[in-house]
Structure 1
Amino acid sequence: MNNAPGTGVPRTALAAIPIAVMLFALSQTAGAQALANQSVDDRLNMLMRVVDEQQKQINSLEQQVVNLEMSQRGRGLSGPATGPDGTTVAEQPGADGLPVPLPPLAQVSPGAPAPGSATGTATGVPVTPPTPDESSNSSGATAGGLPAASDGSGAGAVGQTQKAAQPVRTQSEEAVAQQQNAALFAHSLTFDWGISDTYYDRRQLQLSGFLALDAIFLGNINLGETKSHQVMADLDTRYGLTDRISVDVDVPYIYRHSNFIVGGAGGAANTLSDASANSSDIGDVNFGIYYQFLKETNNLPDLVGSLRIKAPTGSSPFGIKLQQVDADNTNLVAPSKLPTGTGFWNITAGMSVLKTYDPVVLFGSLSYTYNVARSFADISSVEGQTEPATVKLGDIVQFGGGVALAFSDKDSASISYTMALEPESETKAPGSSYSKVPGSETAAAALNFGLNHVVNKHLTINGSVSVGLTPDAPNFVVGVRFPYTF
C-alpha cells in the first residue's frame, strides 16, 4: 500500500475525498435542475432529504479518515461512535496531541433557512417564501412538514402548547363532568333519557278535639301516615352551540301513587283505614342555557354558569279538594287527584365548579331559585269552599359538593351532599297583605351516591341513589339515566 508522504495515510483513501466532493457537487447540480419543475413544497422536502443523505455520507468519510490515522499510530478504536440521530460520528480526541477532526455539517431542520442565508435552502438554492395559501398542502401540513394550526392562524405550536396545558380526562371522568355540569360544550346533540322513583313516608299525630281549661285535651288522638311513590320519566335534550355555550330542554312525565292511612275507624283510635289516589300527567317543562366561564387547566377548574326557567305545565296542587272516602272513619280524607307540578314559574341561576386530579374529580355547586308569585282562583282544599288568593313560595338556596373516583377508563363512582333551604311561603287574599303560612319552611338535605359506566363513545349509563337526611327530604330516590351523544 502506498502512503502519502509524511502522513501515513493510504493514497486510495485520500483520493476518495476529492471523488466524494465531486460527487457531492454533481448531486447538487442535478438536484437543482430537478427542482426547477417542482412546487415549492416538493422542492423543500426533497432538498431536505438530499441534505440529510449527503451529511451522513460526509460523516462516514470523516470517520474513515480518523480511523485510518488512529490505526497508523497504533491507537485503534473500540467501535464507531453514534450521534443522537443514530448516525456514525467521529470520537472526540483525547489528550494525545491528535488534530481535532472536522465537525459535522450543521443539520438543517425541515422548513428552516440555511445558516447564513435568510432566504435560501440548505443546498443554497434560493426560493421564494410561500404564501399562506401555498404553504399548506391537502393534508393540513405546512411546507416545512409541521402541522398547520386548525384555526388558520399559523400558530400551531402555540395551540398545541395550550391544549397540552389542559388536563386529559378519561372517558369516565368526562362522564362525571357532563353529569355534574349538565352541559355539552361541543357541536353535538345528546338525548338524555332517565327514570327515577321518589319515595316519601310521612307520619304525623292528628288531634281532633279541643283544650278544656287550657290544659285538658278532649277529643281523638290518631296517628296518620302517608306513603307516596313518584315515578318520573324524562327526556333531556342538550345541544352545544359553541365550545362555551350549551342549551337544553327537559320534558318530564310523572306518575304518582299515594296511600293515606289513618286510625279512628269505628271510633277506635287503634283501628286503621286507608285510601289510595293515583295520577299521571306531564310535569313541569324546564329549559336552560349554560356558559363556561373557565375551561379546566392544570391550575384552574371548570367554572360553568347556568340559567334555567321552569314553566307550570304540570297540574297545580291548588284547588284540589279533600274527600271523605270512608263513611265509618271521619278522620280519613284523601285528595280527588294528585298534582304533577308546582303551579309556579321559577328562575334558577347557578354556578358549578369541577377540578380533575386524576383519578379523582372534585365538584361543587351553588344555586338560587326565584319563585314567581301567582294568583289562583281557588287555593282551598275544603269541599264546597272557594278561596281566591295570591301565593308566593319561598325562594330556594341550594348548595352541595362531592367527589368522584375513576376506577378505570370507563367506570367511576361518586358521593356528594346537597342541601336546599326554603323559607316560609306567603299568601295574600284579594285586598289584603301577605301573611306567612305556618310550617311551610323547609330544609332538605340528602346524601347522594352514583355509579357511571361508559358503554362506548356514544352511550353512558349513570345510576344514582339519594338518601334523605332530614324530614323534609324524600326517604330515597333511585334513578338511572342513559345519555346518548351523536
Structure 2
Amino acid sequence: MKIKFVSSNFLLRRSIKEVIFYLLLFFVNRGYAETGAKNDDLAQYKKLIAEQQKEFVRQRQIIAEQGKQLEQMKMRLDALATQSAQNQPPAKQAANGPQIVAARNANAPPSLSDKLPSRPVGQPPPESQKRRPPEIPRVSQTVGGVLTRKNNLVVEPSLFYSYYDNNRVFLDAYTFLPAIAIGLIDVRQIKQHTLMGFLGFRYGLTDRWELEFRAPYVYRTQEQRARPLLEQAAIDKAFNTDGSDIGDLQFASRYQLNSGSDGLPIFIANLLATAPTGKSPFDIPLVQAVGIPGFSFPAEMPTGAGYFSVQPSITALYPTDPAVFYGNISYNYNAETSTNAGKFDPGDTIGLSFGLGFGINERSSFSLGYQHRHVFDSKLGGNTITGSTLDIGQLLVGYSYKYSKKSTHNLSLSIGTTNDAPDVSMEYRMPFTFDLN
C-alpha cells in the first residue's frame, strides 16, 4: 500500500508539472502571437504615414505654384491700373492717383511694382497709335494740326482777318537839282481790310489719309488816298470801295507717307486746289476819278482770284519731345485765264516755311516759324509785265488749346516782313470732331 501511494503522488506531481508547462507554453505562444500582430500593425502605420507625407509634399508644391500664379496676376493688375491712370485726364488722374498708388502698394512689393512696364509686355500698340503726326498749332493750310482719324468727321468754322497798307509814288518828271523835280508826281496810299468766314469739313478715309473742303464768305474794303503834286496845289481825295460775296472754294488732301520710325522725320504729302467761284478782279470795271487825271479805282472789291490754282507740297515733322520741328516746300501753279485785255497768265509761286512747335502741357502748345513765297512775273497777251515779281515774307506765330476731346481752339498770327506781304493776318479756328464709327 505504501508503494502505491508513492507512485500516485509522483504521478500527481508529474501531471501538475505538465499542466503548468502546457499553460506556460500556451501563454508564451499567445504572447508571441500578440507581438507579431503588433509588429504587423506598426508596419502598416509606418507605410500609411509615409504615403501621407508624400501627399503632403505634393499638395505643398501645388500650393506654391498657385501662389506664384496669383502673384503674377497681382503684378499684371497693378500694371493695368498704372496704365489706366496714365491715360486718364489730368483732373481725374489727380483725384484717383492716391487710390491707385495705395492699391499698388498693398498688392505688390515696391521693388516689383517699380520695375513694371507701362503696358503689358508682348502686346504691340494699336495701329492707330503708331507714330501719328504730332499735333501743333495750325499756321497754314499745309502746316499744323493733326491728320483726322479714320471715319472721323471734323467740322471747322474759322474767321480770317488781314490788313494791308501800301504807299505808291508815280513820278513822271525830270530833276533840275537833286532835290527838285519838275513834272507830275502821283502819290497814292492804299489801305485794305479783308474779313473772311470759312466753314470747313475734314474726313479721315484712313488714319493716314484725310480730305478737306472749305467754303469762304469774303467781305473786303479798300481806301485809296491820292494826291497828285504840281498839278494843283491842294488836291487830296479818298476813294472807298467794298465788296462781299462767296470766295474761292478750296479742296485739300493730305497723306502721311511714312511711319517716322528709326529716327526719320514724318513726311506728309499735301495737295491744295482752288476753284474761282468768287468775284473775279478781271470782271470788275474801273471808275475814272473826277479832278485827278489818270487816276482810276475799281467799282467794287473782288472776292476771288479769278483763276484756278493747284499747290502740291511736302511737310516734314521731326518730334523731339517736347518740341516738334517742321518744314514745308510748296509749288503753286496758277492757270491762265481770259480777260478783256487778253490772255492773262499769273506767275507761279514757290514757297518755303520752317519753324517749331512746343508743347506747354497736355492741352496747350504754341509754334513759331517763318514763311516766304516768291511769285514769278505775270504775262498779259504773251508779254511779261515788268515789275510783277513779288516776294511775300511772313513771321508765323500760333497758339492752340485743346478744350475737350472733341473741340480745340487755334489762333495763328502772321506778321509781314516784306513790302509785298500783308502787314498783319490773323485766323481763328475751332474744329469739332465727330466719330462716325
Output the TM-score relative to the length of structure 1: 0.62
Range moving further from structure 2, 451-460 or 299-308: 299-308
When residues 442 and 471 of structure 1 are mapped into structure 2, their CA distance, relative to the original with a 3 A threshold, is same
Give the SS at the match of 1:180.
coil
Q: Could you list the runs of 5+ residues in structure 2 that have no partner in the other structure?
A: 1-46, 75-120
Residues 75-86 of structure 1: pairs in structure 2 closer than 5 A: none
1:373 to 329, 336, 358: 336
**CA–CA distance in structure 1, aligned partners of residues 65 and 123 of structure 2:** 31
1:346 to 286, 304, 309: 309
**CA–CA distance in structure 1, aligned partners of residues 251 and 401 of structure 2:** 26
When residues 179 and 427 of structure 1 are mapped into structure 2, their CA distance, relative to the original with a 3 A threshold, is closer
Identity %: 26
Give the SS at the match of 1:174.
coil
Q: Could you list the runs of 5+ residues in structure 1 that have no partner in the other structure?
A: 1-10, 25-50, 60-82, 88-155, 379-386, 429-433
**Does the 8 Å contact 2:248/2:274 carry over to 1?**
yes
* Deviation of 1:478 (Å): 1.5
* Deviation of 1:288 (Å): 2.0
* Deviation of 1:446 (Å): 0.5
* Deviation of 1:56 (Å): 5.1
Residues 312-327 of structure 1: pairs in structure 2 closer than 5 A: 312-325=276-289, 327=290
Q: Which residue of 2 aligns with 1:383?
A: none
1:246 paired with 2:203, answer: no
1:438 paired with 2:386, answer: yes
Deviations 1:303-355 (A, max 9, x none): 11122221111111114332234x34446532101111111111111111112
1:395 paired with 2:348, answer: yes
**CA–CA distance in structure 2, aligned partners of residues 239 and 313 of structure 1:** 23
1:17 paired with 2:27, answer: no
* Deviation of 1:159 (Å): 3.7
When residues 161 and 225 of structure 1 are mapped into structure 2, their CA distance, relative to the original with a 3 A threshold, is closer
Residues 181-200 of structure 1: pairs in structure 2 closer than 5 A: 183-200=147-164
**CA–CA distance in structure 1, aligned partners of residues 132 and 338 of structure 2:** 51
Output the TM-score relative to the length of structure 2: 0.69
Give the SS at the match of 1:294.
coil
Q: Which residue identity does 1:393 align to in structure 2? A: P
Q: Which residue of 2 aligns with 1:283?
A: 247
When residues 242 and 16 of structure 1 are mapped into structure 2, their CA distance, relative to the original with a 3 A threshold, is same
* Deviation of 1:399 (Å): 1.1
Q: Which residue identity does 1:245 align to in structure 2? A: W
When residues 279 and 163 of structure 1 are mapped into structure 2, their CA distance, relative to the original with a 3 A threshold, is closer
**Does the 8 Å contact 1:283/1:341 carry over to 2?**
yes
Q: Which residue of 2 aligns with 1:55?
A: 65
**CA–CA distance in structure 2, aligned partners of residues 160 and 371 of structure 1:** 44
**Does the 8 Å contact 1:421/1:444 carry over to 2?**
yes
Report the count of equivalent residues.
336
Q: Which residue identity does 1:364 align to in structure 2? A: G
**CA–CA distance in structure 2, aligned partners of residues 422 and 322 of structure 1:** 25
Q: Which residue of 1 aligns with 2:319?
A: 356
* Deviation of 1:22 (Å): 7.0
Residues 432-471 of structure 1: pairs in structure 2 closer than 5 A: 434-471=382-419
**CA–CA distance in structure 2, aligned partners of residues 274 and 199 of structure 1:** 18
Q: Which residue identity does 2:407 align to in structure 1? A: L
* Deviation of 1:186 (Å): 2.5
Q: Which residue of 2 aligns with 1:425?
A: 378
Larger-Rg structure? 2
Residues 47-446 of structure 1: pairs in structure 2 closer than 5 A: 53=63, 55=65, 157=122, 159-160=124-125, 166=130, 173-176=134-137, 180=144, 183-207=147-171, 209=172, 218-264=182-228, 267-269=231-233, 271-297=235-261, 299-325=263-289, 327-330=290-293, 332-376=295-339, 378=340, 387=341, 389-428=342-381, 434-446=382-394
When residues 335 and 21 of structure 1 are mapped into structure 2, their CA distance, relative to the original with a 3 A threshold, is same
**Does the 8 Å contact 1:301/1:354 carry over to 2?**
yes
When residues 240 and 223 of structure 1 are mapped into structure 2, their CA distance, relative to the original with a 3 A threshold, is same
**CA–CA distance in structure 1, aligned partners of residues 65 and 281 of structure 2:** 86
Q: Which residue identity does 2:135 align to in structure 1? A: E
Q: Which residue identity does 2:54 align to in structure 1? A: P
1:482 paired with 2:430, answer: yes
**CA–CA distance in structure 2, aligned partners of residues 212 and 403 of structure 1:** 51
When residues 268 and 463 of structure 1 are mapped into structure 2, their CA distance, relative to the original with a 3 A threshold, is same
Range moving further from structure 2, 352-361 or 269-278: 269-278
Q: Which residue identity does 1:357 align to in structure 2? A: T
* Deviation of 1:436 (Å): 0.1
Q: Larger % of strand: which?
A: 2
**Does the 8 Å contact 1:276/1:334 carry over to 2?**
no
When residues 265 and 302 of structure 1 are mapped into structure 2, their CA distance, relative to the original with a 3 A threshold, is same
Deviations 1:259-307 (A, max 9, x none): 1101149954554210100100111112122221112336122211122
Q: Which residue of 2 aligns with 1:124?
A: none
Deviations 1:107-166 (A, max 9, x none): xxxxxxxxxxxxxxxxxxxxxxxxxxxxxxxxxxxxxxxxxxxxxxxxx947439888x4
Give the SS at the match of 1:448.
strand
When residues 163 and 261 of structure 1 are mapped into structure 2, their CA distance, relative to the original with a 3 A threshold, is closer
**CA–CA distance in structure 2, aligned partners of residues 250 and 340 of structure 1:** 15
**Does the 8 Å contact 1:167/1:356 carry over to 2?**
no
**Does the 8 Å contact 1:265/1:329 carry over to 2?**
no
Q: Which residue identity does 1:160 align to in structure 2? A: P
* Deviation of 1:448 (Å): 0.6
**CA–CA distance in structure 2, aligned partners of residues 53 and 168 of structure 1:** 47
Q: What's the RMSD between the two structures over aligned residues?
A: 3.4
Q: Larger % of helix: which?
A: 2
When residues 443 and 269 of structure 1 are mapped into structure 2, their CA distance, relative to the original with a 3 A threshold, is farther
**Does the 8 Å contact 2:173/2:184 carry over to 1?**
no
Give the SS at the match of 1:55.
helix
Q: Which residue identity does 2:125 align to in structure 1? A: Q
When residues 19 and 258 of structure 1 are mapped into structure 2, their CA distance, relative to the original with a 3 A threshold, is same
**CA–CA distance in structure 2, aligned partners of residues 311 and 337 of structure 1:** 21
Deviations 1:58-90 (A, max 9, x none): x9xxxxxxxxxxxxxxxxxxxxxxx98699xxx
Give the SS at the match of 1:342.
coil
Q: Which residue of 1 aligns with 2:118?
A: none
